[in-house]
Structure 1
Amino acid sequence: MSFFSKPTLWKYSALLLAFISVFHCKNQFSTGNKLPDSFLNLKLVNPEGQSLDPKFWTNKKSVLYFGFSHCPDMCPMALTNLGRASQILGDKNKEYQFVFITLDPDRDAPGVLKNYINRFPGKNLTALSPDLESLNKIADLFGIIRKKIKTSGSYAIDHSNLIYVIDENLNQIVKMPGGTSATGIATSLRESGSPK
C-alpha cells in the first residue's frame, strides 16, 4: 500500500492542521482576552431544540470544544477526557459547564447531538448547534480553522483541536490542546482564575 494512502493522508492532514491552529490562534482569541458582548446574542440551539438563553454563558465558567459528531478520533477522545475531567474535579465541577459546539450543523441537528453526547462520561456536558452565520462568527472569534474534506459518499471536517475555557465575564482564562488528558484538564481547571 502506498505511504500516501487515504488513511495516512488523513492522519497527517489532521496533525498539520492542529499544529497550524496553535500558532493561528495566538493572533486570535488569546488567553486573557475578552469575547465581545455580541457573543451572547449568537444563535445556538441546545439538544432539546431550544434557542440558547444568553444567560447560559454568564452563570458558570464554560469549557468549550469544537468538533462534529462524525469525527472519527479527535472529538471522541477530547469529549471523553472532558467528561472524565468533570468527574475528577469533584465538588469544583459545579463551577463549570462543559460545552461541545458542532462545526457541522448540517448533519448535527439537536436530536443527533443529544444522542451523541450521551455516549460520553460526565453529567454536565451539553452540545450546541449554531446557524451558519453564528458558526462563522464563532470560528472567527476563536480563530478556529475548519475545512470540509470529501470522503467516499460523504465528507469529513479537518478542524482545530483546542479546548477553551471562558469565565462568566467572557474572559478566556485557559486554552489547551484537545489531546490533553483528563487529569491534565482537571489540573488546569483547578489552577485557573479570572484575569486580574
Structure 2
Amino acid sequence: MNEQSKKLRLTLNCAIFAAVTAIMAQVEVPLPLVPISGQTLAVGITATILGSRQGAVAMVCYAAIGTAGLPVFAGLSGGPQILAGPTGGYIIGFIAAAFFTGLILEKTRYTIPMAMIANTAGMIITLMFGTIQLKFIVDLGWKEALASGVYPFVFVGLIKAFLASWIGITVRKQLIQASLITETYKKTA
C-alpha cells in the first residue's frame, strides 16, 4: 500500500468513527445538567479499535465539526457555545480519553480485560475534564459538581467500558483480518 492510500485510509477511519460518535451522541437519557449519552461508548469503541493517535484524531474531528455548528453533539446540538458551556469539558475530555485509552492498549495487550482497564481509565479522564468545566461554568462547589458531573455516570460508565472493550476488541480483530485497519502496535491479542 502506497503512502497516499495509507493517508486516505487513516482519514476515512477517523471520519467514520467521528460519524459513529455523532450518531451515538443522539442516544441519550436527559438529566438536569449533563445527559447520559452514547458518546462515551463511541469514544471507547473508537480508541479500542483505532488506538491512541487515530482515536484522538477522530475525537478532534468530532469536536471540530460540532463546534463548527453541525448538530453532532447530544440532543442534536452544535456550535461553539456547547464546547464553552457546562458539558463542553466532557467533549474536550473525549480527545484525551481516546488517546490514553488507546495508549494503554498499545503499551500492554489488546485483550478484553486490558481494554476494560483502559476504557475505565478513559471514563475517569472524561469525567474529570467534564466535572472541572461544569464546576466553573455553572459556578458549583466541588460537592455539587461531583454530584451532577460524576456520580450519575459511574455505574453506566462501567457498563459502557465493558461494552466498548468487548465490541472494540471483537471488531478490531475482524478489521485487521480484513486488512481494513493495519496492525501498528507491539502487542495484540
- State the TM-score, normalizing by the size of structure 2: 0.34
Which structure has the higher relative contact order (CA within 8 Å, separation 6+)?
A: 1
- State the TM-score, normalizing by the size of structure 1: 0.33
Greater percentage in strand: 1
